[in-house]
DNA sequence: GGCGCCTTGCTTAAGATTAA
DNA sequence: TTAATCTTAAGCAAGGCGCC
């Protein structure tokens, strides 16, 4: 099926608005002959002269006069569809963003992010726990953005169709209750392995990175309690003799708010630092509102870590 | 006759189609 | 996939038409 040339719709609109080939040409950025050719094609296609000479002027035929309002509405709509997305006024933005993040990261950057988001009073934020594989929901559009640690499996081979931006570097520290009966300011590897552990297992069953490192030393720890939330885990730590290994930025953020103390993990364990990043689907790359959200998160992270 | 506007013929470039 | 060919639309130059 041969489709009509929709450029002719724009040309016809200009001709019916201007009642002049030369002015219509100037209006759409064509030469006069080019517009004249377009008028000839329109005449041929519609079987009507559309504009006819009346002295030095061109006047519309009844058919053209009848089409004028419809053509103008269609041309305006078409140009609107093809125009670049309007610049978003953040203060007037009315939208809900859905992001995946742990309570740990929201505790660290949440207050600073909230201050940023207040620039858009009608923006709301729905934070949900991370999934086994965040990329699924990023791809299908059910979430807008994911914040987390993506430099380990299953994300070490991050799909190339997703965008990632590093937010800040973090490393591990151990915490026990302030008046723990056996733990001082540091831990030996043997002591670390002997203690009962609390682990926050957000994405799946307990175990993982720390256990893999212990296994290299022929050691194994007992995970006495596995919880989905960091704050609940820390509350538990403050009232028991368990030990927990977690983000130093979270521990700093909560300093003085819980009766816990941070303890150097055993150096020989080989815990490495890691990067916290935000992840999104490229369909949102050029969405001004989404870009504003990403910039707000990045700036909130910078402000929080600078402290 | 001069001027302004539109049309027409020709050339060129870009995109589409077809064949190898 | 590439090259050749065809089609289409734009611009340039020139001519036609109507008015003053």
One domain, residues A264 and A280: no
Assigned domain for A2 exists: no
Q: Where would I find the beta strands (DSSP E) of chain A?
A: 51-54, 57-60, 95-100, 123-128, 145-149, 163-170, 172-177, 196-200, 222-227, 243-247, 260-263, 274-280
Please, which positions of strand C sit below 7 A from a protein CB?
8-14, 17-19
CB-strand contact A52/C, under 7 Å = no
- CATH number of the domain encompassing residue A70: 1.10.10.10
Assigned domain for A88 exists: no
CB-strand contact A37/C, under 7 Å = yes
One domain, residues A61 and A40: yes
Please, which positions of strand B sit below 7 A from a protein CB?
4-9
**Does an H or E element contain A229, and which?**
none
- Which residue range(s) make up the domain with A224? 172-269
One domain, residues A287 and A159: yes
**What is the reported pTM?**
0.66
CA of A5, C1' of C4: distance in angstroms: 26
- CATH number of the domain encompassing residue A280: 3.40.190.10
For A216-225, the pLDDT digits (tens) are 888 889 998 9
> Which residues of the protein have their beta carbon within 7 Å of strand B?
A 20-23, 32-33, 36-37, 39-40, 51, 53, 56, 58
For A13-47, the pLDDT digits (tens) are 888 887 888 777 777 777 777 888 888 778 877 77
| Range with lowest mean pLDDT among A111-115, A119-123, A207-211, A214-218 | A207-211
One domain, residues A150 and A284: yes
If one counts the domains in chain A, the total is 3
One domain, residues A259 and A195: yes
CA distance A224 to A196: 6
């Amino acid at each position: 099926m041969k489709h009509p040339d929709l450029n002719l719709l724009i040309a016809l609109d200009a001709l019916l608005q201007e009642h002049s080939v030369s002015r219509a040409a100037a209006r759409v950025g064509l030469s006069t002959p080019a517009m004249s050719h377009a008028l000839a094609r329109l005449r041929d296609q519609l079987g009507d002269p559309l504009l006819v000479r009346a002295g030095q002027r061109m006047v519309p035929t009844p058919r053209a006069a009848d089409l004028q309002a419809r053509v103008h509405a269609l041309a305006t709509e078409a140009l609107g569809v093809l125009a670049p997305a309007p610049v978003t006024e953040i203060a007037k933005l009315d939208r809900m963003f859905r992001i995946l993040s742990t309570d740990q990261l929201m505790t660290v950057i949440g207050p600073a992010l909230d201050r940023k988001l207040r620039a858009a009073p009608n923006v709301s934020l729905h934070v949900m726990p991370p999934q086994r594989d965040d990329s699924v929901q990023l791809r299908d559009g059910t979430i807008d953005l994911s914040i987390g640690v993506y430099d380990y499996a299953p994300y070490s081979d991050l799909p190339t169709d997703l965008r990632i931006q590093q937010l800040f570097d973090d490393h591990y520290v151990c915490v026990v209750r302030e008046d723990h009966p056996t733990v001082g300011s540091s831990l030996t590897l043997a002591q670390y392995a002997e203690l009962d552990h609390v682990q926050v297992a957000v994405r799946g069953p307990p175990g993982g990175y720390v256990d893999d490192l212990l296994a290299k030393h022929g050691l194994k720890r007992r995970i006495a309690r596995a919880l989905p939330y960091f704050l609940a885990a820390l509350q538990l730590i403050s009232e028991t003799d368990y030990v927990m290994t977690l983000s130093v930025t979270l521990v700093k953020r909560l300093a003085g708010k819980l009766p816990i103390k941070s303890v150097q993990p055993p150096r020989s364990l080989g815990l490495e630092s890691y990067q916290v990043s935000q992840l999104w689907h490229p369909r949102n790359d050029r969405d001004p509102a989404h870009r504003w959200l990403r910039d707000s998160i990045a700036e909130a992270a910078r402000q929080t870590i600078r402290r």
